[in-house]
Structure 1
Amino acid sequence: MTATRDEVIPSQTSPSDASRRVLDTAGASTSPGCADLAAAEEFLLAFHDAHPEAGSLTKRLAEVRRSIAETGTYRHTGEELAFGARLALRDSGWCTSGVPWQRVRVRDLRGLRNASAIASECFEHLRLATNAGRIQPMVTVFAPDTPDRAGPRLWNEQVVRYAGYSLANGGVLGDARNRDFTSEVVRLGWKPPAHRGRFDHLPLVVETHHEGAKLVPVPRDVVQEVPLEHPEYRWFGELGLRWHTVPLVSNMQLRIGGLQYPAAPFNTWFVGTEIGTRALADENAYGIARQVADQLGMDTSSERSLWRDRAIVEINRAVLHSFDAARVVITDHHSEALHRLARLRSGPRSGGSKPRFTLNRDAASPGLTGNEAPAGPARPRYDVLARMSRRCLGTDLADQ
């Protein structure tokens, strides 16, 4: 495990002139699993600029060049891995306001190859990150892709996700975004509970080079959930809604210095609208907006009454109120938008070969990465607040 320590992460990776003179004009590798030499050199310049105590840059560059020439790849030191993961999380637009960038915990588990061990450490990540409601931002890094072996992959969009069961009438019980993924894990051998519900935990799917795809149930005792209640309306608590407390994203790949880590689950904490608007209110997910509007006594026969808007506001109020009452860290979308705008003004987002998280589109079969719209006739989407928030944050998948 990589020890957490204070470090300086520059607002823009900008190697000094002295460091730049160490580079030569070597080209980048293009074979699958091979390290990109140019990206490796750029990253090492940034790391040594931020960590002058790390030793000789010239010596480290020579080691990396020799390793890539001989094997097609190289290995990050623990300090380099931690620096790259923190920089990627900070600049990829996936981190929420208030996260202490320099103290994001990085767990170095590159030695694990078996699906059972990888799943166990994902669950340990979830337990550590929950931290009795004081959510701990964290990244766990598993083995990278190499020229002779692909690294492990996690199929799930997040480690904790709720099943979506197709009903005979064309509807969905549970989270409709996960209907296709639920059907796939059932095909692979998952047996849903005898009494299916709206908040059944899907298994974690871990794919390794030598084992293929393996299903691993998520232990119930590592998942903290918050029952949702409204600060004014008692009937809201009778709806039986709840949500898990840690958004442990698992279908993003981490790129650092020309190496690709296809399994690098990370978490910060939730923005309220991701639960209230995008999951609970959206008719492509749980679709409870009309039910809430009916309870509020609103006229739902016409869109001009703006019943959806009021219902969404009350659902989001309930989410924030419930998480606060349970003493679980969460942020609201207005604070988050201000935070993201401040970040955008401070400098451009990282791009090119700089460390970053990107959607791992080859981690599972097409359409099975979660958060997909249900098949069949198009349904209206009512997640405007969430989409606006994600665009302000730079976290809208369409923009990745």
Structure 2
Amino acid sequence: MDLAEAQEFLDQFYAETSPTTRFDHRLWQIRHEIETTGSYTHTVEELTFGARVAWRNSARCIGRLYWNSLRVRDRRDVTKPADVAAQCVEHLHEATRGGRIRSTITVFAPDRPDQPGPRIHNDQLVRYAGHRLPNGEVRGDGRYADFTDHAVALGWQRPEPPGRFDVLPLVISGGDTEPEIFDLPADAVLEVPLSHPDHEWLADLRLRWHAVPAISNMPLDIGGVTYPAAPFNGWYLGTEIGARNLVDADRYNLLPVIAERLGLDTSSERTLWRDRALVEMVRAVQHSFDEAGVTMADHHSESRRFLTHVAREESAGRRCPADWSWIVPPVSGGLTPVYHRYYDEPDPTTRPAFLQP
């Protein structure tokens, strides 16, 4: 543990908040704990501030305007895989709230010199399986065919018959132990059936998507302390589902299906059939979430809100790094205000931060 990292975080914490403990005393506590144990323990206030600032520093996230409202669930006493899984279920219950999605993070035990913390191997708490069929095709989410095979090797029983939207189990390990699997109960996963405001046939495709995008494999680094399991969620942007998850060629690849149902000419790229089908897919997703009363942002509104966040950060004298390729939406990018400007380049050394796995 580098005391300089801890002190840098402490400087920021005291500059932006009003702790009751004197700075020099808190720094002495941290120094003493590092010298004694090789690490140190954040206070609840430090943990909350660090998690929120990590979201503020997330260069790929367009929804950072709400960083200071992140709800932090302190579960640093939880280390066993079964207990981690149970708390992940509670996270989903508390974040979902019947569709009124709330930004939430659950922070589990950190890595310590004598004991690594637990790991969640899923990239999100809720993902759909990809089942390899004898003919070489994949039923479900093609991107997760390998992960599905891994879960089966660990003992997961595929649904019979395998479906297109089978929720994968959580794969969790405690420190250096072998990973274990835990099924998510049905009441923990709110799903939205998809329909279209103008085309009734879309409901016949029996598509759906889950309501809470909870990232679960990005370690949280605060002041030199790493929390390897810290699942966190905001809420979906309509284009994430309608213009990526359901239509990417390596996932559900639905654009040809939608184009055929729309009667579009797919003989040439110059007919722009992909573009037309894509817009209708996004419309269906946005319409369905609105009809179900489930929180979802649209790319035009969220783009404007992101620039409000940038302006607030600049007014506070802070940089606002952004990865342009992630901030600009995959539909109608040039129609959104985030397209027409440059941003500070992300600095990989910035902390607190969610680390790329």
Calculate the TM-score normalised by the size of structure 2: 0.88
The 3-state SS of whatever aligns with 1:281 is coil
1:79 corresponds to which of 39, 42, 45 = 45
* CA contact 1:252–1:262 (8 Å) conserved in 2: yes
1:266 aligns with 2:247: no
Match of 2:221? 255
The Cα offsets for residues 75-127 of structure 1, whole Å up to 9 and x where unpaired, read as 00011000000111122145554863322110110011110000000010001
How far residue 344 of structure 1 moved from its aligned partner, in angstroms, is: 4.2
* CA contact 1:257–1:353 (8 Å) conserved in 2: no
* CA contact 1:126–1:246 (8 Å) conserved in 2: yes
How far residue 342 of structure 1 moved from its aligned partner, in angstroms, is: 4.3
Match of 1:163? 129
1:205 aligns with 2:171: yes
Equivalent runs, 1:139-150 vs 2, <5 Å: 139-150=105-116
Match of 2:320? 348
Match of 1:357? 354
The 3-state SS of whatever aligns with 2:219 is strand
Match of 2:336? none
Alpha-carbon distance in 2 for matches of 1:178, 1:277? 18
How far residue 353 of structure 1 moved from its aligned partner, in angstroms, is: 4.5
Equivalent runs, 1:46-65 vs 2, <5 Å: 46-65=12-31
Match of 2:245? 279
* CA contact 1:258–1:353 (8 Å) conserved in 2: no
Equivalent runs, 1:1-400 vs 2, <5 Å: 35-93=1-59, 95-97=61-63, 100-209=66-175, 211-344=177-310, 346=314, 347-349=319-321, 351=347, 352-360=349-357
The 3-state SS of whatever aligns with 2:29 is helix
Alpha-carbon distance in 2 for matches of 1:218, 1:282? 26
How far residue 209 of structure 1 moved from its aligned partner, in angstroms, is: 2.2
* CA contact 1:95–1:268 (8 Å) conserved in 2: no
* CA contact 1:228–1:318 (8 Å) conserved in 2: yes
Calculate the TM-score normalised by the size of structure 1: 0.79
The 3-state SS of whatever aligns with 1:260 is strand
Paired amino acid for 2:320? P
The Cα offsets for residues 13-50 of structure 1, whole Å up to 9 and x where unpaired, read as xxxxxxxxxxxxxxxxxxxxxx2211100111111122
Alpha-carbon distance in 2 for matches of 1:196, 1:53? 54
* CA contact 2:56–2:64 (8 Å) conserved in 1: no
The 3-state SS of whatever aligns with 2:251 is coil
Match of 2:331? none
* CA contact 1:48–1:54 (8 Å) conserved in 2: no
Relative distance call for 1:131 and 1:269 in structure 2 (3 A) is same
* CA contact 1:130–1:246 (8 Å) conserved in 2: yes
- In percent, how many aligned pairs have the same letter? 49
How far residue 348 of structure 1 moved from its aligned partner, in angstroms, is: 3.0
The 3-state SS of whatever aligns with 2:274 is helix
Stretch moving more, 64-73 or 255-264: 64-73
The Cα offsets for residues 321-355 of structure 1, whole Å up to 9 and x where unpaired, read as 00011111111223333333444453333742520
How far residue 55 of structure 1 moved from its aligned partner, in angstroms, is: 1.6
Paired amino acid for 2:144? N
* CA contact 1:133–1:327 (8 Å) conserved in 2: yes
How far residue 195 of structure 1 moved from its aligned partner, in angstroms, is: 1.5
Alpha-carbon distance in 2 for matches of 1:152, 1:307? 46
Alpha-carbon distance in 1 for matches of 2:270, 2:91? 46
Paired amino acid for 2:174? T
* CA contact 1:96–1:269 (8 Å) conserved in 2: no
Match of 2:337? none
Paired amino acid for 1:209? G
Gaps of 5+ in 1: 1-34, 361-400
Stretch moving more, 62-71 or 173-182: 62-71
Match of 1:394? none
The 3-state SS of whatever aligns with 1:52 is coil
Relative distance call for 1:209 and 1:262 in structure 2 (3 A) is same
Relative distance call for 1:100 and 1:336 in structure 2 (3 A) is closer
